[in-house]
Structure 1
Amino acid sequence: MKSVTPALLLFLISLLLSALPDGSQAQPAAARLPRPAAYVRANSPSRSWELRNGHWFDGQRFKDRTVFVRNGLFQRRRPLHVDTVVDLRGQWVVPPFAEAHNHMLDGTAGLPEMIRKYLADGVYYVQVLTNSRSGAEQARPFLNRPQSVDVAYAHGGLTSTLGHPFMAYEPRAMGLYDPSQWATQQNRIARSRLRENDAYWFLDSLPAVAAKWPHIMAGRPDVLKIYLLHAREYDTRPRSGKPGEQGLRPAVAAEIVRRAHAKGLRVYAHIETADDFRLGVQMGVDGFAHAPTYGGNLADTLVSGALTAADLRAAGRRGIVVTPTVWVGSTYFAPADSARLRAFRAFQGRQLRAMVRHGVRPLVGADWWGETPVGEALAWEELGVFDHAMLLRLWSETTAQAIFPGRRIGRLVPGYEASLLGCTDNYLCVRAKFR
């Protein structure tokens, strides 16, 4: 039996791919989602409250005032009947915090502990950007309740065959929990499909999108997550052959965004480079999961990670949001790399500042297994880019409203949901009050 040389095999594969109907170029941007209608989750009927002696954050500073709550909403005037009077005893009152990027709350294992951890850190709103649909179905009965966190799920990541996030889910589904085992088990892992159409979907062509779309929608995702990894170089970029090195072809990704927007669904794109960012803006995504070169490769950062003012203006005009995942980027540097880490953090600071300057809203999200976004917020503070009032506003108002567009949360004003945190020694509250 004759064998096919690797060079000939690559040529044949590229020839076949070039004949696919999706091509490799992105289509025109999908239509923007309309501004969502305002809504609240009111508790009617419920007790009326008078909250006295608190210092209330108004988005810029803390002000002393008495606040009233009726049917779960803040109101300016005292209700005709007040059921309960609460003395806040000088606490500093802020809206609850939010987490816009994680992969937890996926199944019931450890779920009560993680919910308690979120609530203890003041995090009430969570967005899960890739999870197993089956895990979300198990977890949902314990979520979106007054004593729990409110969660928006993306369900399975939309990628190409063996693309990221395949390796984040498949080995563990096979019982291979130790990453050091994966290299020797690579071929076996690549053949496995235990989490396909649950934690990830393989979409290699436009016909594949059309065929699988009804099944993706059947899971009732709150948001979708696509994967762009050096996407314009999909058919030309050299690869090692290991699973997880690529994401979607541009035209396939663009078709997903078009279909999602037709259903009123937001789309976040995992990206690696500034060119992936530009491509995502071109196709009309609503948000980016990570800033370019978030993974700490300083050489790549300075070459392929820099976003231009034009890039950010284009994203700002479309109202695009970004979870820059500043905290996780620092973990790629060893203690001996302190000079390189400082250079990387300086780059992160410039990038965050430029985002806000050009209308791109950064969201707080750690993408750190087992952790709340407190570490991410602290990492932002260490960069020294924002004053504490703005950091509080981005974490509580901007991030929460991006997770649940149109929902009246994240502000302590009449007509908004009466969720709040009373801080005595919270690290950001205490610092912001001295502004």
Structure 2
Amino acid sequence: MKKYCVLFVLVFCISCNSQKINHSKYAKTNFNAKTMKLIDGNWFDGKKFKERPVWLKNGLMYYKSIEEEVDTVIDLSGKYVIPPFAEAHNHNLESDYKLDERIAHYLNHGIFYVKLLSSIKKRIDPLMHNYNKPDGLDISMAHAPLTATDGHPIALRKKFLEYGHFDGLFNSIEEIEYHGYVIIDDSLDLENKWEKILSFSPNFIKINLLHSEEYAKRKKDTSFFGKKGLNPKLVPDLVKRAHASNLRVSAHVATAHDFHVGVNSNVDEIAHLPEIHNGNPIAMEDAVMAKTKDITVVTTISLVKKDKGKENYQELVENVAANLKILKEAGVTLAIGSDMYNDNSTEEFNFLHELDIFTNLELLTMWTEHATSTIFPNRKIGKLKDGYEGSFLVLDKNPLSDISNIYQRIVLRIKEGVILK
């Protein structure tokens, strides 16, 4: 009986500490889309494939025949239909440099949805006509991440300013605040700056935790410029404030302690696997708590490849694998995201596949349903369900049998009822 009481208290406390977020879902309609019927296709139901006809009307999918006359009939000839892939962590869509090429690379690989963990609104606003339309990428943006004085990403912003990347936008690092970072050093900052943060219309809030176990040590040490983050004591109130504004919170983390802080503060997402560059284990109890609170962890394990020149590289890879196994054992929701500016989630998927930790079904779910739901939690996408958006990929092989190089086996891409070129 005591075990049940403890469990009840745990769940009660978690629910009390969590502010309500709107969980209702909607589907984007596309009234310009053709009415289609797709026959002889094997459709993924989340666990297996099932042969059935499907109808598309106004960009939505249906499993029952519709009354309207069909414009197009597509014979899938026994091929396999899955939800689109997604990229749950990147920063590479706010520059117009080779943008068309970058977007095409995403779409050709079957990646329809991208989460930008930071972006400068002044830079990306003129490019928004490329996004969030039936034949383009759909993106979700945090805009400026929240950090401490001299914390990450201020050093990066300063470097890019000096390189001339912000010519015509900003003349000093101070001008970039609110656009490229927001300094939150205490509760007064949080109170005074919150409305201006909201004025940028972020889709979610990103907070930066970096070596929070050394917050006091790094706080005023100039040698840690750009290598520190928020005061961990501020994070619970920050999360509550974001949730009260109906905004989810994604936490950038570096260490196992950062992960602990984020999980115990009720963030919605951990934006990186912890300890990628440090090589330490994460605590199983924190992983279990992340599962209990339905917190998603974005993989970004490709970042470890930046350490290839180090003597301990293989040990770092082994630690990455060990921490992934801890999260898997705890049942944590994992979403595929790369944080690789010159790439997308394709190589992240390949690396995860090479580690041989997850089944084909798990990898498929991580790259489709999980990645999509952490980008657009309120949209009816990421699953092939009746009334959901008519967005999917058609493959010429069964990914549950062989998922290697699966993006190379795409023979048809449909987004919101539109056949992509």
TM-score (norm 1): 0.82
Aligned residue number for residue 121 of structure 1: 109
Give yes or no for the alignment of 1:235 onto 2:216: yes
Give yes or no for the alignment of 1:42 onto 2:37: no
Give yes or no for the alignment of 1:58 onto 2:45: yes
Where do 1:242-261 residues align within 5 Å? 242-261=224-243
CA contact (8 A) 1:60 1:390 kept: no
Aligned residue number for residue 9 of structure 1: none
Match for residue 76 of structure 1 among 26, 43, 63: 63
Distance, in Å, in 1 between the alignment partners of 2:351 and 2:20 is 32
Pick which of 123-132 and 136-145 moved more.
Answer: 136-145
SS in 1 for 2:316: helix
Distance, in Å, in 1 between the alignment partners of 2:396 and 2:114 is 24
Distance, in Å, in 2 between the alignment partners of 1:99 and 1:40 is 20
Aligned residue number for residue 99 of structure 1: 87
Distance, in Å, in 1 between the alignment partners of 2:197 and 2:48 is 44
Match for residue 145 of structure 1 among 104, 116, 133: 133
Amino acid at match of 2:284: A
Give yes or no for the alignment of 1:378 onto 2:360: no
Distance, in Å, in 1 between the alignment partners of 2:20 and 2:90 is 24
CA contact (8 A) 2:218 2:228 kept: no
Per the TM alignment, residue 45 of structure 1 is displaced from its structure 2 partner at its CA by: 6.6
Aligned residue number for residue 286 of structure 2: 311
CA contact (8 A) 2:26 2:379 kept: yes
Per the TM alignment, residue 237 of structure 1 is displaced from its structure 2 partner at its CA by: 4.3
Structure 2 CA distance for partners of 1:407 and 1:42, relative to 1, 3 Å? same
Distance, in Å, in 2 between the alignment partners of 1:213 and 1:388 is 43
Aligned residue number for residue 331 of structure 1: 306
Distance, in Å, in 2 between the alignment partners of 1:30 and 1:164 is 28
Question: What are the superposed Cα offsets for residues 297-318 of structure 1, whole Å, 9 maximum, x if unpaired?
Answer: 3xxx2xxx31222111111111
Aligned residue number for residue 5 of structure 1: none
Where do 1:398-417 residues align within 5 Å? 398-417=370-389
Distance, in Å, in 1 between the alignment partners of 2:26 and 2:391 is 15
CA contact (8 A) 1:226 1:270 kept: yes
Give yes or no for the alignment of 1:225 onto 2:201: no
Aligned residue number for residue 289 of structure 1: 271
Distance, in Å, in 1 between the alignment partners of 2:105 and 2:265 is 37
Per the TM alignment, residue 55 of structure 1 is displaced from its structure 2 partner at its CA by: 2.9
SS in 1 for 2:174: coil
SS in 1 for 2:337: coil
Give yes or no for the alignment of 1:193 onto 2:174: yes
Where do 1:347-358 residues align within 5 Å? 347-358=319-330
Aligned residue number for residue 85 of structure 1: 73
SS in 2 for 1:331: helix
Pick which of 130-139 and 363-372 moved more.
Answer: 130-139
Distance, in Å, in 2 between the alignment partners of 1:267 and 1:383 is 29
Per the TM alignment, residue 220 of structure 1 is displaced from its structure 2 partner at its CA by: 0.4
CA contact (8 A) 1:39 1:407 kept: yes
SS in 2 for 1:234: helix
Amino acid at match of 2:202: P
Aligned residue number for residue 369 of structure 2: 397
CA contact (8 A) 1:54 1:88 kept: yes
Question: What are the superposed Cα offsets for residues 347-397 of structure 1, whole Å, 9 maximum, x if unpaired?
Answer: 222322321332321111110012110011111101111111221111111
CA contact (8 A) 2:22 2:246 kept: no
Structure 2 CA distance for partners of 1:46 and 1:141, relative to 1, 3 Å? closer
Amino acid at match of 1:222: N
Aligned residue number for residue 297 of structure 2: 322
Match for residue 175 of structure 1 among 163, 185, 207: 163
Identity of aligned residues (%): 33
Distance, in Å, in 1 between the alignment partners of 2:88 and 2:162 is 29
SS in 1 for 2:223: coil
SS in 2 for 1:261: helix
Distance, in Å, in 2 between the alignment partners of 1:29 and 1:378 is 40
Distance, in Å, in 2 between the alignment partners of 1:371 and 1:211 is 38
TM-score (norm 2): 0.84
Distance, in Å, in 1 between the alignment partners of 2:297 and 2:268 is 9
Give yes or no for the alignment of 1:270 onto 2:248: no
SS in 1 for 2:297: strand
Structure 2 CA distance for partners of 1:359 and 1:33, relative to 1, 3 Å? farther
SS in 2 for 1:220: coil
Unaligned runs of 5+ in 2: 1-14, 166-171, 405-421
Amino acid at match of 2:295: I
Unaligned runs of 5+ in 1: 1-27, 178-190
Aligned residue number for residue 366 of structure 1: 338
Structure 2 CA distance for partners of 1:30 and 1:149, relative to 1, 3 Å? farther
SS in 1 for 2:289: helix
Distance, in Å, in 2 between the alignment partners of 1:316 and 1:379 is 24
Structure exhibiting the larger radius of gyration computed from Cα positions: 1
Aligned residue number for residue 22 of structure 1: none
Distance, in Å, in 2 between the alignment partners of 1:403 and 1:311 is 23
Amino acid at match of 2:29: A
Per the TM alignment, residue 248 of structure 1 is displaced from its structure 2 partner at its CA by: 0.8
CA contact (8 A) 1:174 1:194 kept: no
| Count of residues paired in the alignment | 382
Per the TM alignment, residue 253 of structure 1 is displaced from its structure 2 partner at its CA by: 2.8
Aligned residue number for residue 168 of structure 2: none
Per the TM alignment, residue 30 of structure 1 is displaced from its structure 2 partner at its CA by: 5.0
Give yes or no for the alignment of 1:208 onto 2:189: yes
